[in-house]
């Protein structure tokens, strides 16, 4: 059975052979993957902490943590318009500590953050942005970078 959506978007590319990683990159570059779900599954698996049921409000792990993933995009509707890249993630409807994975798309680097609720509870917005320079370099002068942690391993330990 053919899939008209795949045929329309990918055309003759559907006949090509790809590794799983190559196919993932193609889908990711076109924003066709719910990358947040990947972050949840990976952190759960690495930490050994079970994921909550999908309808559990405000948390993703049985330990009471919220997992977020953000990817850099040009900042489009602020005073910094096209002056930086921004990795934006939602904070609406959660009061849990956030385990955050940020993927910088130009450099393919990943950054890890642990953001306690008290650090964002005062924010009067639906989302937070982690800024980067246009070349993909972290804009570490922004206070959200104070919550960066050193490694994937440390992030997964904090999931417990």
pTM for this prediction: 0.87
Q: Tell me the per-residue pLDDT of 57-82, one tens digit each, with 9 for 90 and over.
A: 999 999 999 999 999 988 665 555 56
Q: Which two tokens stand for residue 27?
A: 């889908």
Residue 159 DSSP one-character state:
T
Show Cβ contacts of residue 102 under 8 Å, excluding neighbours closer than 6 positions: 69, 70, 71, 72, 87, 110, 111, 112, 113, 130
Domain limits, the chain = 34-158
Collapsed DSSP state (helix, strand, coil) of residue 32: coil
Residue ranges in the chain modelled with pLDDT below 50: none
pLDDT at 73: 86
pLDDT at 121: 96
Whether 131 and 85 have beta carbons less than 8 Å apart is answered as yes
Strand order in the sheet with 148-149: 127-132, 85-90, 66-74, 98-104, 109-115, 148-149
- Integer angstrom CA distances of residue 36 from 6, 12, 67, 91: 22, 29, 8, 14
Q: Which two tokens stand for residue 119?
A: 């650090």
pLDDT at 28: 85
pLDDT at 76: 62
34-158 maps to which CATH number? 3.40.1350
pLDDT at 78: 53
């Amino acid at each position: 059975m053919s899939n008209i959506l795949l045929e329309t978007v990918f055309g003759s590319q559907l006949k090509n052979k790809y590794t799983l990683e190559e196919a993932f990159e193609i889908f990711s570059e076109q924003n066709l993957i719910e990358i947040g779900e990947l972050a949840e599954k990976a952190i759960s698996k690495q930490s050994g902490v079970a994921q909550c049921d999908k309808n559990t409000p405000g948390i993703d792990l049985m330990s009471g943590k919220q997992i977020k993933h953000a990817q850099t995009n040009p900042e489009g509707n602020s005073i910094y318009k096209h002056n930086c890249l921004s990795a934006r993630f939602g904070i609406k409807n959660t009061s849990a500590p956030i385990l955050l994975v940020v993927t910088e798309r130009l450099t393919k680097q990943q950054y890890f953050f642990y953001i306690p609720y008290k650090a964002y509870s005062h924010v009067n917005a639906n989302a937070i942005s982690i800024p980067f320079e246009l070349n993909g370099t972290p804009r570490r002068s922004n206070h959200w970078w104070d919550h960066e942690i050193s490694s994937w391993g440390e992030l997964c330990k904090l999931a417990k």
